Chains A and B, each alone.
Chain A
């Protein structure tokens, strides 16, 4: 191909007005026609559309083009599109080069003349570069069919079931003793008010019973190596001190624990309920296996416990005080990250008194109070057991607030209305919802809002300034007073209540950075995992083979989470169904006759893909291990290492092109 004269077609996209509204496309086309090797240059309204692609294909065949440059949007969006089009017309797809004149030019440049000049220089660079492109073959690598899912909330559960039903073997890793996530803590779900447990626990059980799901609860993924289709994963299994294979979840050990009463705050109950040192987080837990907390267990503290639990377990002998942390190595083809969200720490907003005023709760705590399997058996009562006569629900706590999180957590209006309903239903209290805007988009959501309006809810439009127990009037004595500006009435209101519920934001998990690094993902500025494209690849990430689902990607409710989990599972299934995948050919390679065997490249490779052929004293790069970063190429002191698609001369010509104007 290198000896053949370049016949280049240049295609400049208007992208409707997106490009043509700023860049003078006819002028750019005229310029491109004058570039060396350019046989044809066309403008079209939407190059990526079928007619646009067909015009390229027709030119390839009619005009015998051997190179194509498409000046349109980011290659991250449509490189695959145009490569495929060229391939269908019989051209090697890697003889196509994309020039980004939308994201990098028309969308960011105010001055039309400057934008036009910049577009010309980038096209000149693309044309200069593409001449040196060579036909390349994509390589195929085998793909493992197993799927790893990190996080066993509703997203992970749904994804696991979907993938396993499709015949994949799924490893579901959950760091808590039970799967279920936040959803397992809820009483009812909006807008249908069906009980969370009723819809979640069957799915949890299905996970347990599915022959193609290996559940690794109380475990954490600690290392991920490898690449798409061939990930090597290390999972740390924390010791439960109860043998999972022997325990049947009979609760007898818990009954017989030397602690006669539960006196340690239960993590699952957010401290509102108590547990013993040996416990099962909640009765519907999956796996239904006890776990011992070594921090509170007398045997661990003194080694002198009577070990009544062991006696209770009897012949089963499930309790094992000597259990050690273990590591499991997995090899999977795809990974779904469904690590969920973190509840905003309401104590950060000191003006609301959370953690200081006992009558102030955050929403998840009230979910537990309302839950029939919760610490109060579903009674919404204050810490002293009283039923509240008046309850205030504060929306947007930690959301839509520049001091905390500027974004809307999306679910709070709806769950606040749900809690209002539950509070009224269980206590008959007067309920006041303080909101900034009532946001209820979603199927059946606005209807739910109207249903609540009919339940005589007090809706106060205004952001709450503070929650105080300092009474200014007799009716405020002994009460919590919510101070807010009512923006509809145009005045400050003081509403005395017995209980305050803070509708806290959904935040990214505190350990997102470690997870992100481990999986080579990105986070958006607020800390949620970044999807590859918000519209076109919403569950993919920039790391091939790693997908995201649920609230780790951004605040979302259960229906959305479940839908996204299904989508992520579908992506994982699609990836792992052919048995192989094709990878970009952007590999590094060594020109053997130029290599001096100096070995500079060898320690630089992050994948140990380079080895020294001791017989010939030359370096050799493994196609299978190389991921195409090009670090060795930049370092190679004799110019023997090179990288396909990013050859030195291609880059130098591109450089000359961008500097040509």
Chain B
């Protein structure tokens, strides 16, 4: 037992889908369990923080941490696991790039609290209470984690060795990653353990692109009857496949849904949203300002479209001015 590699799982700001991905290994998980010794997995196993604290430093072979970092507690746990682990893998889009929770960087703590604890129609009048870091109760003072102004990626808080991208990562990529780590043939530090090229290269619809990929209009998927045989981008749907790392085997596209970019950009691209804007606008086949603007009316939420998973990792990771809640 003692000579089996130790593995930890932890979740920060995320939806829990990444935990599902682990379970999605299905019977494959039995092989994993046979090969490793899981020392920490709050969602599934009853270990406590103190169990981790008691482990010697770097005694965990690998920690898989999913979720973005928004709370002080998440930072603490990330630091603890970093100290205790040889390798830390940012697991899933949120820890990799901020993920959907990262879109909260369009607001700040004050405006988020104002909405969720005061102004939202679902808040019962008179029952207004904001979470505070210290709450006095008859039994003493309770401490809650601090809620930061900005959502961060895992590597903005701790040193990260590898990234497993995806919302969530596919079981295959997880199994491959575990295999690589167990075998010890390690890729260079900082590698993203998925494809190296953009998704189009593995997309079954790539062959169906027209000779000149130019768009006369941008269409929204819920209003479009999708032709499953034809490149979705060529149909005017904002498929982010060209600006998204491959490795998922085009799961969404195979389900008639355009790629939304959860694997992040390729190694050569720093800012996925900027490059998404670059290629989509470039193939918009208009030269007159008014025509361009008309076509762009169907992109009502550029940040949510092009930075759906990557806002905290972008050059400009947060809003300049807080917008009123919709």
CB neighbours (8 Å) of B201 from chain A are: 595-598, 617
Q: Bound complex: CA of A596 vs CA of B203, how far in Å?
A: 10
Q: Are A600 and B283 in contact (CB under 8 A)?
A: yes
Q: How far is the CB of A138 from chain B (nearest CB, A)?
A: 26
Contacts of A513-561 to chain B: CB distance below 8 A: none
Q: Are A637 and B246 in contact (CB under 8 A)?
A: no
Q: Bound complex: CA of A559 vs CA of B269, how far in Å?
A: 58
**Which one of B196, B209, B212, B282 contacts A593 once the chains associate, using CB atoms below 8 Å?**
B196
Residue of A599, A602, A639 with most partner-chain B CB within 10 A: A599
B243 at the interface (CB under 8 A from A): yes
| CB closest chain-A residue, reference B272 | A637
**Which one of A591, A602, A636 contacts B212 once the chains associate, using CB atoms below 8 Å?**
A602
Q: Bound complex: CA of A637 vs CA of B273, how far in Å?
A: 10
Q: Are B266 and A638 in contact (CB under 8 A)?
A: yes
Q: Are A598 and B269 in contact (CB under 8 A)?
A: no
**Which one of B214, B268, B275 contacts A603 once the chains associate, using CB atoms below 8 Å?**
B214
CB neighbours (8 Å) of A648 from chain B are: 268
Q: Are A596 and B198 in contact (CB under 8 A)?
A: yes
Q: Bound complex: CA of A648 vs CA of B106, how far in Å?
A: 28
Q: Are B246 and A596 in contact (CB under 8 A)?
A: yes
B265 at the interface (CB under 8 A from A): yes
A634 at the interface (CB under 8 A from B): yes
A594 at the interface (CB under 8 A from B): yes
B60 at the interface (CB under 8 A from A): no
B242 at the interface (CB under 8 A from A): yes
Q: Bound complex: CA of A638 vs CA of B276, how far in Å?
A: 9
Contacts of B195-226 to chain A: CB distance below 8 A: 196-201, 206-207, 209, 211-214
A640 at the interface (CB under 8 A from B): yes
Q: Are A594 and B197 in contact (CB under 8 A)?
A: yes
B279 at the interface (CB under 8 A from A): yes
Q: Are A634 and B242 in contact (CB under 8 A)?
A: no
A604 at the interface (CB under 8 A from B): yes
Q: Bound complex: CA of A648 vs CA of B265, how far in Å?
A: 16
Chain B 18-39, CB-CB to A under 8 Å as 1, else 0, gives 0000000000000000000000
**Which one of B211, B212, B214, B268 contacts A640 once the chains associate, using CB atoms below 8 Å?**
B268
Contacts of A596-646 to chain B: CB distance below 8 A: 596-600, 602-604, 617, 631, 634-640
Chain A 567-607, CB-CB to B under 8 Å as 1, else 0, gives 00000000000000000000000010111111110111000
Q: Are B212 and A638 in contact (CB under 8 A)?
A: no
Contacts of A438-455 to chain B: CB distance below 8 A: none
Q: Are A598 and B206 in contact (CB under 8 A)?
A: yes
Q: Are B212 and A637 in contact (CB under 8 A)?
A: no
Total B residues in contact with A, Cβ cutoff 8 Å:
28
Q: How far is the CB of A2 from chain B (nearest CB, A)?
A: 16
Residue of A600, A602, A603, A634 with most partner-chain B CB within 10 A: A600
CB neighbours (8 Å) of B211 from chain A are: 602
Q: Are A638 and B242 in contact (CB under 8 A)?
A: yes
Residue of B214, B242, B246, B265 with most partner-chain A CB within 10 A: B242
B241 at the interface (CB under 8 A from A): yes
Q: How far is the CB of A200 from chain B (nearest CB, A)?
A: 45
CB neighbours (8 Å) of A591 from chain B are: 268
CB neighbours (8 Å) of B196 from chain A are: 593-594
Q: Bound complex: CA of A311 vs CA of B324, how far in Å?
A: 88
Q: Are A636 and B197 in contact (CB under 8 A)?
A: no
Q: Are B242 and A600 in contact (CB under 8 A)?
A: yes
**Which one of B206, B209, B267, B279 contacts A637 once the chains associate, using CB atoms below 8 Å?**
B279
Q: Bound complex: CA of A598 vs CA of B275, how far in Å?
A: 13
CB neighbours (8 Å) of A639 from chain B are: 265-269, 275
CB neighbours (8 Å) of A594 from chain B are: 196-197, 266-268
Q: Bound complex: CA of A363 vs CA of B222, how far in Å?
A: 72
Q: Bound complex: CA of A617 vs CA of B213, how far in Å?
A: 15
Q: Are A637 and B198 in contact (CB under 8 A)?
A: yes
Q: Are A600 and B269 in contact (CB under 8 A)?
A: no
If the complex has contacts A602-B212, A640-B268, are A596 and B197 also in contact, measured as CB distance less than 8 A? Answer: yes
Q: Are B278 and A634 in contact (CB under 8 A)?
A: yes
Q: Are B275 and A600 in contact (CB under 8 A)?
A: no
If the complex has contacts A638-B243, A638-B268, are A600 and B197 also in contact, measured as CB distance less than 8 A? Answer: no
Q: Are B283 and A604 in contact (CB under 8 A)?
A: yes
CB neighbours (8 Å) of B200 from chain A are: 596-599
Q: How far is the CB of A179 from chain B (nearest CB, A)?
A: 38
CB neighbours (8 Å) of A596 from chain B are: 197-201, 206, 241-242, 246
CB neighbours (8 Å) of B279 from chain A are: 598, 600, 635-637
Q: Bound complex: CA of A595 vs CA of B268, how far in Å?
A: 11
Q: How far is the CB of A652 from chain B (nearest CB, A)?
A: 9
Chain A 315-327, CB-CB to B under 8 Å as 1, else 0, gives 0000000000000
CB neighbours (8 Å) of B242 from chain A are: 596, 598, 600, 637-638
Chain A 481-512, CB-CB to B under 8 Å as 1, else 0, gives 00000000000000000000000000000000
Residue of A597, A638, A648 with most partner-chain B CB within 10 A: A638
CB neighbours (8 Å) of A640 from chain B are: 197, 266, 268
Q: Are B278 and A637 in contact (CB under 8 A)?
A: yes
Residue of B199, B241, B282 with most partner-chain A CB within 10 A: B282
| CB closest chain-B residue, reference A633 | B278
Q: Are B282 and A598 in contact (CB under 8 A)?
A: no
Q: Are A598 and B278 in contact (CB under 8 A)?
A: no
Q: Are B282 and A597 in contact (CB under 8 A)?
A: no
Contacts of B232-270 to chain A: CB distance below 8 A: 241-243, 246, 265-269
Q: How far is the CB of B15 from chain A (nearest CB, A)?
A: 27
Q: Are A634 and B282 in contact (CB under 8 A)?
A: yes
Q: Are B213 and A602 in contact (CB under 8 A)?
A: yes
CB neighbours (8 Å) of A597 from chain B are: 200-201, 206
Q: Bound complex: CA of A110 vs CA of B302, how far in Å?
A: 42
Q: How far is the CB of B220 from chain A (nearest CB, A)?
A: 20
Q: Are B283 and A638 in contact (CB under 8 A)?
A: no
Q: Bound complex: CA of A594 vs CA of B268, how far in Å?
A: 8
Q: Bound complex: CA of A111 vs CA of B34, how far in Å?
A: 74
CB neighbours (8 Å) of A636 from chain B are: 275, 278-279
CB neighbours (8 Å) of B275 from chain A are: 636-639
CB neighbours (8 Å) of A638 from chain B are: 197-198, 242-243, 265-266, 268-269, 275
Q: Are A599 and B213 in contact (CB under 8 A)?
A: yes
Q: Bound complex: CA of A648 vs CA of B270, how far in Å?
A: 11
Q: How far is the CB of B252 from chain A (nearest CB, A)?
A: 16
Q: Bound complex: CA of A593 vs CA of B266, how far in Å?
A: 12
Q: Are A637 and B213 in contact (CB under 8 A)?
A: no
CB neighbours (8 Å) of B207 from chain A are: 617
CB neighbours (8 Å) of A602 from chain B are: 211-213
Q: How far is the CB of B210 from chain A (nearest CB, A)?
A: 9
CB neighbours (8 Å) of B269 from chain A are: 637-639
Q: How far is the CB of A22 from chain B (nearest CB, A)?
A: 35
Q: How far is the CB of B146 from chain A (nearest CB, A)?
A: 33
Q: Bound complex: CA of A244 vs CA of B46, how far in Å?
A: 100
Q: Bound complex: CA of A352 vs CA of B201, how far in Å?
A: 73
Q: How far is the CB of B245 from chain A (nearest CB, A)?
A: 8
Contacts of A444-481 to chain B: CB distance below 8 A: none
CB neighbours (8 Å) of B276 from chain A are: 637
| CB closest chain-A residue, reference B202 | A596
| CB closest chain-B residue, reference A639 | B268
Q: Bound complex: CA of A114 vs CA of B215, how far in Å?
A: 47
CB neighbours (8 Å) of A595 from chain B are: 197, 201
Q: How far is the CB of B88 from chain A (nearest CB, A)?
A: 26
If the complex has contacts A596-B242, A603-B213, are A635 and B282 also in contact, measured as CB distance less than 8 A? Answer: yes
If the complex has contacts A597-B206, A600-B283, A617-B206, are A637 and B197 also in contact, measured as CB distance less than 8 A? Answer: no
Q: How far is the CB of B250 from chain A (nearest CB, A)?
A: 11
If the complex has contacts A636-B279, A639-B275, are A599 and B209 also in contact, measured as CB distance less than 8 A? Answer: yes
9 more A-B residue pairs beyond the given contacts A594-B196, A638-B198, A640-B266, with a C-beta to C-beta distance below 8 A:
A596-B241, A598-B242, A600-B279, A600-B282, A604-B282, A617-B206, A635-B278, A637-B279, A638-B243
Q: Provide a sorted-by-A list of 5 A–B residue pairs whose CB atoms are within 8 angstroms.
A: A598-B206, A599-B206, A639-B275, A640-B197, A640-B268
Binding site for B on A (CB under 8 A): 591, 593-600, 602-604, 617, 631, 634-640, 648
In the A-B complex, the 3 residue pairs with the smallest Cβ-Cβ separation, listed nearest first, are A639-B268, A596-B198, A637-B243
